[in-house]
Amino acid sequence: MKLTDLTPALARHKAGMLFAGALLCSNIAFSQSKQAIIDDMMKEEMTNSQLQTLAHELLDEVGPRLVASPQMKKANDWAVEKYKSWGVDAHNEKWGEWRGWERGISHIDMVSPWVRSLQGTQLAWSPGMGKKTATAEVIILPDLADSNAFKAWLPNVKGKFVMISAPPTTGRSDINLKQFATPTTFDKMTAEARASATAWTSRLNKTGLRGKTALPLAIEGAGAVGIITNYWSKEFGADKIFDAHTKTIPTVDIGLEDYGLLFRLVESGNKPVISVHCESKELGMQPTYNTIATIKGSEKPNEYVMLSAHFDSWDGGTGATDNGTGTLTMIEAMRLLQKFYPHPKRTIIVGHWSSEEEGLNGSRAYVEDHPEVVANLQALFNQDNGTGRVVNLSGAGFKDAGAFLDRWLAAVPDTLKKRIRTNYPGQPSGGGSDNASFVTMGAPGFSLGALNWGYSTITWHTNLDTYDKIIFDDVKSNALLTAILVYMACEDPATLPHTKADGITNWPAAAKSIRQGRVEDIKK
């Protein structure tokens, strides 16, 4: 029977049934197709993950990635070539320039009252010593009455190494103390550590020199041979390694055990002598780059879904978990997307940002230079808090984020999804990591919050942030999660509105990028 042989009402009913059936078949076909892509990505990541190879190439072969260092540029070039080898368009995009510095050999030894090689390293941007070695007595910044007394004492630093950090009261971590100490001992040792820190802050304040640069520069100006610091991370063997603020003499961080040894020897009148040899190279102002890779959209090429992680690191270790693992997550997710979803509906962009550690400068420069991406951003997914599996996802303060994120998460396997706590609409981020550069401009930048794994004390900015701390099973999960979220965000027929949630009155303001960094520290 033909449709035209039916009564008009029955014909309309028959047509509706046919349309509904066709739509159902279409939805089933689409769902099956979508699931097939997700299944393929899962199988690939579980059986042929490239994460360990990528980690070795980036962390062991390239090394740490201090902004404007030769290793940073080597990492930029490595990523571009890696993407191109997979057929992904990639380039390095200059956004500014920074004082270039290259770490060299450090040898630090105590030579009196007995001989011991000391654990330590020069801080980033510390002035080098060329081929010279300085051997001198170590002294401690004393507890003086006030700034006038400090000025009167200051000539005593001439020809000496000066210790300017608080002495350790214990080398045991809080976890270790809680495990073995009696409650009385734990409370006592905790109080001693707190009192020591308070007393040292008072000692520093009495110099009248505020800020992290004033005291080292004053000691340098008075003729000291070098500055000795300790920034213990409250874990066995872990020290935070940041930057120096001297211009002509080295600044060296000594590990807690050896710093305590020197401090006690000075206090007891033994006058320890150390020998320091620190080589580094000043490279002048160097161009700085973000590495950008793109898979062009086929239906909505002017709408964007982004992957995001900062590429730079401090250089006490190799930047494995800050933010090597975030970087590797995004690179591996892009590999999966290119292999199984090479023609996305929206354009996929990954940003590997430079100078995050100095204030999100690379990503801030990008949002300033690419307003079209910000205005048409479907979503950005950023990961930057260690090697752990993702366990938190917030709506970043956007009114409709929950509906979209839940829809995208629905395609994620339960083994990954069940561990993720969501918070909608959440709060907008004004800093901390590169998603904030987008959020402050009113674009949805979502942070993939990871399980801690002792990140804040063991690896964050420490000398222990190395390849061996990576938990590859967790990073595999994160790469797969990111790839699926990006895929779903690209496929979604709706566009996530950039509407801020009701009741949020303190939306953070955008900060400008610093396009020229530490130029004032370059010797003229």
Residue type, 478: N
User: How far apart, in whole angstroms, are the C-alpha atoms of residue 518 and residue 282?
Assistant: 12
Residue 369 pLDDT grade (very low, low, confident, very high; cuts 50, 70, 90): very high
Chain segment 181-228, per-residue pLDDT in tens: 999 999 999 999 999 999 999 999 999 998 889 999 999 999 999 999
Residue 21 pLDDT grade (very low, low, confident, very high; cuts 50, 70, 90): very low
Residue 523 pLDDT grade (very low, low, confident, very high; cuts 50, 70, 90): low
Q: Please, what is the Cα angle at 64 between 478 and 331, to 5 degrees?
A: 30
Indicate the SS3 state at residue 295: strand
Cβ neighbours of residue 200 under 8 Å, at least 6 residues apart?
A: 165, 166, 167
**Is residue 27 pLDDT above 60, yes or no?**
no
User: How far apart, in whole angstroms, are the C-alpha atoms of residue 263 and residue 506?
Assistant: 46
pLDDT of res. 32 = 75
Chain segment 165-179, per-residue pLDDT in tens: 999 999 999 999 999
User: How far apart, in whole angstroms, are the C-alpha atoms of residue 338 and residue 90?
Assistant: 13
Chain segment 32-46, per-residue pLDDT in tens: 789 999 999 999 999
Q: Which domains does the chain carry? A: 45-99+285-518 (3.40.630.10), 114-271 (3.50.30)
Indicate the SS3 state at residue 34: helix
Q: Which of 479, 364, 502, 497 is nearest to 443 (CA)?
A: 497
H-assigned helices in 352-424: 361-369, 371-375, 401-409, 414-417
User: How far apart, in whole angstroms, are the C-alpha atoms of residue 65 and residue 76?
Assistant: 10
Mean pLDDT to the nearest integer, 319-334: 98
Residue 31 pLDDT grade (very low, low, confident, very high; cuts 50, 70, 90): confident
Handedness of CA 482, 485, 491, 497 (dihedral sign): negative
Whole-structure pTM value: 0.92
**Is residue 13 pLDDT above 90, yes or no?**
no
What the block records as the tokens of 63 is: 């090394």
Which secondary structure element, helix H or strand E, spans residue 393, and what is its range? strand 390-394
**Is residue 295 pLDDT above 70, yes or no?**
yes
Q: Which of 136, 314, 327, 142 is nearest to 239 (CA)?
A: 314
**Is residue 460 pLDDT above 80, yes or no?**
yes
Measured between alpha carbons, how far is residue 53 from residues 132, 419, 478 in Å?
A: 39, 27, 17
Calculate Rg over the CA atoms of the chain: 28
Cβ neighbours of residue 78 under 8 Å, at least 6 residues apart?
A: 57, 58, 62
Mean pLDDT (the chain, rounded): 94
**Residue in this structure with the two tokens 């630093």, named with its chain if needed:** 157
Give the total residue count for the chain: 524
User: How far apart, in whole angstroms, are the C-alpha atoms of residue 317 and residue 311?
Assistant: 14
User: How far apart, in whole angstroms, are the C-alpha atoms of residue 111 and residue 63?
Assistant: 31
Chain segment 239-270, per-residue pLDDT in tens: 999 999 999 999 999 999 999 999 999 999 99
Residue type, 521: D
pLDDT of res. 99 = 97
pLDDT of res. 3 = 38
Measured between alpha carbons, how far is residue 294 from residues 25, 80, 278, 307, 380 in Å?
A: 33, 11, 42, 10, 14
Indicate the SS3 state at residue 380: strand
* Among the ranges given (11-20, 272-281, 296-305, 326-335), the one the predictor scored with the smallest mean pLDDT: 11-20
DSSP letters for 114-152: S-EEPPEEEPBTPPP-TT--EEEEEEE----SSHHHHHH
Q: What percent of the chain has pLDDT over 70?
A: 94
Residue 516 pLDDT grade (very low, low, confident, very high; cuts 50, 70, 90): very high
H-assigned helices in 49-69: 51-55
Chain segment 66-87, per-residue pLDDT in tens: 999 999 999 999 999 999 999 9
